Amino acid sequence: MTAPLAGDDPAEIGPYRLLGRLGAGGQGVVYLAAGRDGEHVALKVLRHVRDEEDLAAFRREGEILRRVARFCTAPVLDSGTDGGVPYLVSEHVDGPSLSSVIAERGPMAGTALFRLAVGTLTALAAIHHAGVAHLDFKPGNVLLGRGGPRVIDFGISRVLDATHLTGGLVGTPAYMAPEHFREELTVGPPADLFAWGGTVLYAATGRQPFPGASIPVIMNGILNREPDLSVLEPRLRNVVAACLRKDPAERPTAREALLTLLGRAAGASLPGVLEQGSQIAETPTARRSALRNPRVAVAGAVAVSVAVTLAVLAPGLLSADRDTGPSSGRPTPPASPTAPPPSPVATRLPSTDVTAFDRPGDPVRLAAYAALRPDPQIAYARPPGSSAFTRIGVRQEPAVSPDGAWVALDDRSAVDGSADGQVTFIDTRTGTRFTVKTTEKPVITANPRWSPDGRRLLLTSHTVRGNTRTPRGFVIVEVATRTATRVDVPGDERMDEFDAYSWGPDSATLAHRTASGVRLQDLTGRVTRTYDATGTPAALVSSFSPSGDRFLTNCPDRDQTACVWRTSDGRAEGTFRTPGMLVWQWYDEDHLVVVDQNTAPNRLSVIDRDGREVRRLAEFPTLDTWIPALAG
């Protein structure tokens, strides 16, 4: 989806006229642009160039990227600098990312998954053939266009690394190979094969190959654990398993993996494997030279064979056509339907009139709940991978850690302030539990919220005197040390008693409302930033997206709409239509979990920016019958 240009965006970069924003991230901003011929292209501006030496290195790398053959890639068409700022121009692929399609439609299977695997391996073979490593291959860098899957941003990480544009790790942690974290190993094309294996597994399950709420947890999984590949059919499973080997020397090249996959699928062997780093120029002279060079001639034969095989196997590979109207950009059903997402499994929840719907691979799932009727309320939970809910507490409000492994139960038996506050933590897999004292009477706590890294629990505190509840501040529980720290925040007593603290963009930042905006605080209560006139936080659990890059508010200038703002600078980034809906939390970077009160029964649903339901998580009479707790 193309967003309007921001106020500080230029009108032109080099010979290209900017038309809108396609996205932004740590590497730079991607614009929809038009060249002199009017053809639409994607133009990426790269940040943080240091000096002329960096620019020279960038120009050299840009020339290399243009050599990549156009097999299932969005090829680099141009590169240059404008006012000392480097940019890359590539073909504009009009299609959604693999990550957004999986979030909206569910995991792939069968022919659709195989076509995705073949198409993306073909792209990596072409990229590596030009002597380029992608180094940030992931679901977000695979676009499903009209002609099939297309790999984008190849070589960007190489350019950034070559010109010192980034520090530390290059890539996306969840799809990084072990060698990214081991100084004694070289990071190159084999890392792309590891990321490819993880991406295929994500497409088949809807889950990251090595899940975790923090980079250390993800790193540990990448270095020491083997993912479950049982969901893949045998011929694809064998190739993915080979690509996910911890030692880069034991992984196949992209061409070896592709030929193995195609050879088994087509029942015929294909030409031999190319040497790593060989290149084919695209000039007539180079083509004549290739015919005289047997090794290069074989390279051309492999490329042609792959292209022909793909055309026969999958005309219109995994296409996901989109509405091309000026105000749209939303995915529409493909011309050749792919395998539908798995049918949801309906489960009636104990002690309620709630029906939950489970789909394998959903990044957010119902993991616990409190049944509010009849009194007293009863808490239930289930471990990851299980469909059975077990009773775990009475008069307690549950909250589930991001990985679903722990449930925190905030004691609600003394809401009148007649007893000290406490929270019980339960390991959903083993049943092990322990309790941490949080407050002394007459101070109570409510609204338990887990930090994104799963290490801390946040609660909002109140002083209770008679029938009056006065906001006090918050309590942080460190799970590892089983200790609680209460922080009283001056001024909170003037807030509404229903205003709750939530986590901000990371696990060291809290968010709370102001009269017309959002304030961020550290874990001592010190205000670190304020967003004025944005509207107050809109989501009940957390208004910050999973990445922390954006946050959600009740739009200050329109009803039934939630506004999206960039965390970095507080600029507006779009809206969600939410008529008659209570926003619960984010589902992923492009979707929300809401309670839709427009229907009977009510629904716990996942919606897109237009307010359309793309997933149904549960149905229930009214919200006052239960409190859902989600993991993910």
Catalytic residues: 136
For residues 584 and 594, is the Cβ–Cβ distance under 8 A? yes
In sequence order, what E strands does 184-323 have?
A: none
Tell me the C-alpha distance between 270 and 258, whole Å.
10
The span from the CA of 53 to the CA of 61, in Å, is 13
8 Å CB contact between 626 and 370: yes
Residue 448 DSSP SS3? strand
Q: What is the Cα–Cα distance from 199 to 332, expressed in whole angstroms? A: 23
The closest of 550, 551, 565, 605 to 582, measured between CA atoms, is: 605
606, 615 contact by CB (below 8 A): yes
d(CA 198, CA 189): 15
Strands 406-411 and 396-400: antiparallel
Look at residue 617 and give its three-state secondary structure. strand
User: Which tokens in the block code for residue 625?
Assistant: 């019958």
Nearest-angstrom CA–CA distance, 280 and 68: 9
**Secondary structure of 246-266 in HEC code, one letter for each residue:** CCHHHCCCHHHHHHHHHHHHH
Cβ contact 244:145 at 8 Å: no
Q: Give alpha helix (H) positions in 499-540.
A: none
- Which two structure tokens, joined as six digits, stand for 495? 């807030």
Chain center to CA of 576: 18
Q: Give CA–CA dist 444/490, Å, rounded.
A: 17
Find, among 364, 381, 487, 464, the residue nearest to 424 by Cα: 381
Q: Which of 24, 17, 27 shows the shortest CA–CA distance to 2?
A: 24
Q: What is the DSSP string of 135-180?
A: S--SGGGEEEETTEEEE-STTHHHHHHHTT-S-S--S-GGG--GGG
Separation of alpha carbons 183 and 614, rounded Å = 43
Cβ burial, residue 225 (10 Å; 0-12/13-18/19+)? exposed
Those residues whose C-beta lies under 8 Å from the C-beta of residue 467, and which sit 6 or more positions away, are none
